[in-house]
């Protein structure tokens, strides 16, 4: 007997039915906005992640030397891969490019609530547009995904910020401030003690007085964010606040502004983010971590050897999204569902198989006996797979040119002429023949 590897999960059919519903919902929303599905490899050169994040990233990877002597890693995220793909065909692709994919990723880290070593994400990215409408469309896709899952404005909030506002405010405190390090401290603000957070800002180059003042500026009312340009004397901050407002105005036009909250304490820790960033949270706080996040990363393509190309995207993780849906009561029951079970009694397989084919051609989920079981065993199996309707094809039925329909929820059954089943009915049930 073997145990599964720590941080990796098995999904049985009941669980996968609910997960498939979620995956299909997310992908359907993206496709309605014109995002095109891509497929990406599980392995990439380890060097790609080291060049992007430094040697220390190797500790977080499933990396190894393959049989050809190449250093490779299981992909921990999609952004470097899509950047590589974009650069490879940059001149051929019509822009803006809108890509979507759902797939697993791997990170060697300690499993915790909503985080596993193998995890699934749906990635949504736009390349080739710096317009605020691109940011707003990505936010609209995120909101529509959540609402199509059955969530409401009371269930979640999307906190929106701007990395250039944070950077500009930090730079106003002096040239010695390590801006990326300070932004990483902001990203961890809600996860650590306040004193530890201030210590991290000091380590990034602020003194304690400046750290307090900076944190106070981050909590400025959304309606007064534009005053930060005057407080800092920074034109970069002014340009960033104007850009943030333009994105919010576009989000209003997309119909999703009510779901967005301006919050400068939202930072996103990855260094490649350059403009608007956002994170989705459970409104009740029961799901204790960010459900997902995203933002603009205009410099990444150039960093992978391509021409300067603006980009924006996000990636909902399915584990945390499931936690939110379960908390809100919209996650479907994890149970099998079957439209019809075609039950055979005696030598009736040709007719039973024809009926099953006809029902499948109408798009229904249909099972029939493949184990030569008794009538009682087949009925027990039909109940176990939650069959809504059982079509009994018995030798005595066929002698009378009939089949029997039995509804499993209430036990009602009726004999139906075989020439009329399924007939012209898209979803034939007891009611169709009881009149």
77 is in an annotated binding site: yes
Element (H, E) at 402: strand 402-407
Query: Are residues 281 and 407 part of one domain?
Result: no
DSSP class of residue 259 equals: G
107 neighbors 319 (Cβ within 8 angstroms):
no
Compute the distance between CA of residue 270 and CA of residue 314 in angstroms, rounded to an integer.
13
272 belongs to an annotated ligand binding site = yes
Binding residue per annotation — 121?
yes
Query: Which token pair is 188?
Result: 């961890």
Domains: count for the chain? 2
Reading the chain (435 residues) residue by residue, the pLDDT tens digits are 899 999 999 999 999 999 999 999 999 999 999 999 999 999 999 999 988 778 888 999 999 999 999 999 999 999 889 999 999 999 899 899 999 999 999 999 888 878 899 999 999 999 999 999 999 999 999 999 999 999 999 999 999 999 999 999 999 998 789 988 999 999 989 889 999 999 999 999 999 999 999 999 998 888 888 899 888 888 999 999 999 999 999 999 999 999 999 999 999 877 788 999 999 999 999 998 899 999 999 998 998 888 999 999 999 999 999 999 999 999 999 999 999 999 999 999 999 999 999 999 999 999 999 999 999 999 999 999 999 999 999 999 999 999 999 999 999 999 999 999 999 999 999 998 986
Say how far apart CA 189 and CA 215 lie, in whole Å.
10
Q: Has residue 199 been placed in a domain?
A: yes
> Do 161 and 97 belong together in one domain?
yes
How long, in residues, is the chain? 435
Is 107 assigned to a binding site? yes
CATH number, domain containing residue 32 = 3.30.930.10
- Residue 357 labeled ligand binder: no
Select from 159, 165, 120, 98 the least CA-distant residue to 312.
Answer: 98
The burial class, CB within 10 Å (0-12 / 13-18 / 19+), for 258 is: exposed
Closest CA to 300 of 289, 291, 309, 290: 309
- Let me know whether 100 and 152 are in one domain: yes
First-last CA distance in the chain: 56
Structural domain including 209 reads 13-40+75-328
Nearest Cα to Cα of residue 296 among 423, 137, 93, 64: 137
The pLDDT assigned to 52 comes to 78
Cα–Cα distances in angstroms (integers) from residue 265 to residues 74, 221, 246, 282, 405, in the given order: 32, 12, 20, 16, 61
Residue 391 within a domain: yes
Q: Which residues contact 116 (CB under 8 A, 6 or more apart)?
A: 7, 8, 9, 319
Does residue 347 fall inside a structural domain? Answer: yes
Q: What is the pLDDT of residue 190?
A: 86
- Residue 120 assigned to a binding site: no
Q: Identify whether 63 is part of a domain.
A: no
Distances (CA, A) of 61 to 20, 42, 49: 27, 12, 9
Residues 229 and 128 reside in one and the same domain: yes
Is 402 labelled a binding residue? no
Q: What is the CATH number of the domain that holds 412?
A: 3.40.50.800
Q: 120 with 102: CB under 8 angstroms? A: yes
For the chain, state the CA radius of gyration: 28
Any long-range contacts for 69-75 (C-beta under 8 Å, 24+ apart)?
A: 70/45, 71/45, 71/46, 71/47, 72/43, 72/44, 72/45, 72/46, 73/43, 73/44, 73/45, 73/46, 73/49, 74/42, 74/43, 74/105, 74/106, 75/40, 75/41, 75/42, 75/43, 75/44, 75/105, 75/106
Q: Is residue 158 part of a domain?
A: yes
CA distance 192 to 180: 18
pLDDT value at position 361?
96
> Has 62 been labeled as part of a binding site?
no
Our measurement of the distance from residue 382's CA atom to the centroid of its chain's CA atoms, rounded to an integer in Å, reads 33
Q: From CA 336, how far away is CA 115, in angstroms rounded?
A: 26
């Amino acid at each position: 007997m073997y145990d599964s590897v720590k941080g990796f999960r098995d999904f049985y059919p009941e669980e996968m039915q609910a997960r498939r519903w979620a995956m299909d919902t997310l992908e359907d929303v993206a496709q309605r906005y014109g995002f095109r599905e891509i497929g990406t490899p599980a392995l990439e050169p380890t060097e790609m992640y080291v060049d992007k994040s430094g040697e220390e990233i190797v500790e977080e990877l499933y990396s190894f030397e393959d049989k050809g002597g190449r250093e490779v890693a299981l992909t921990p995220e999609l952004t470097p891969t899509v950047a590589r793909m974009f650069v490879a065909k940059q001149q051929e692709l019509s822009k803006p490019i809108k890509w979507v994919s759902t797939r697993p990723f791997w990170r060697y880290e300690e499993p915790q609530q909503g985080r596993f070593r193998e995890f699934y994400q749906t990635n949504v990215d736009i390349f080739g547009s710096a317009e605020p409408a691109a940011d707003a469309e990505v936010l609209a896709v995120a909101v529509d995904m959540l609402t199509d899952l059955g969530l409401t404005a009371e269930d979640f909030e999307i906190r929106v910020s701007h990395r250039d506002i944070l950077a500009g405010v930090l730079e106003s405190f002096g040239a010695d401030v390590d801006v990326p390090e300070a932004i990483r401290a902001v990203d961890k603000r809600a996860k650590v003690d306040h004193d530890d957070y201030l210590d991290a800002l000091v380590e990034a180059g602020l003194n304690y007085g400046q750290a307090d003042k900076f944190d106070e500026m981050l909590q400025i009312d959304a309606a007064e964010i534009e005053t930060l340009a005057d407080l800092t004397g920074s034109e970069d901050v002014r340009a960033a606040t104007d850009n943030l407002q333009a994105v919010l105005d576009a989000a209003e036009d997309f119909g999703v502004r009510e779901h967005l909250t301006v919050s400068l304490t939202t930072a996103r820790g990855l260094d490649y983010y350059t403009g608007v960033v956002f994170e989705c949270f459970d409104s009740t706080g029961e799901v204790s971590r960010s459900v997902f996040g995203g933002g603009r990363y205009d410099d990444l393509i150039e960093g992978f050897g391509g021409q300067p190309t603006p980009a924006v995207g996000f990636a909902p993780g399915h584990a945390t999204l499931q936690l939110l849906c379960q908390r809100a009561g919209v996650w479907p029951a994890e149970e099998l569902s079957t439209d019809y079970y075609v039950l055979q009694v005696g030598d009736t397989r040709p007719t039973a198989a024809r009926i099953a084919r006809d029902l499948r051609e109408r798009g229904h989920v249909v099972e029939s006996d493949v184990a030569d079981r008794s009538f009682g065993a087949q009925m027990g199996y039909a109940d176990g797979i939650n069959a809504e309707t059982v079509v009994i094809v018995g030798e005595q039925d066929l002698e009378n040119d009939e089949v029997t329909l039995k509804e499993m929820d209430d036990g009602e059954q009726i004999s139906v002429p075989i020439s009329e089943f399924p007939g012209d009915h898209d979803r034939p049930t007891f009611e169709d023949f009881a009149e």
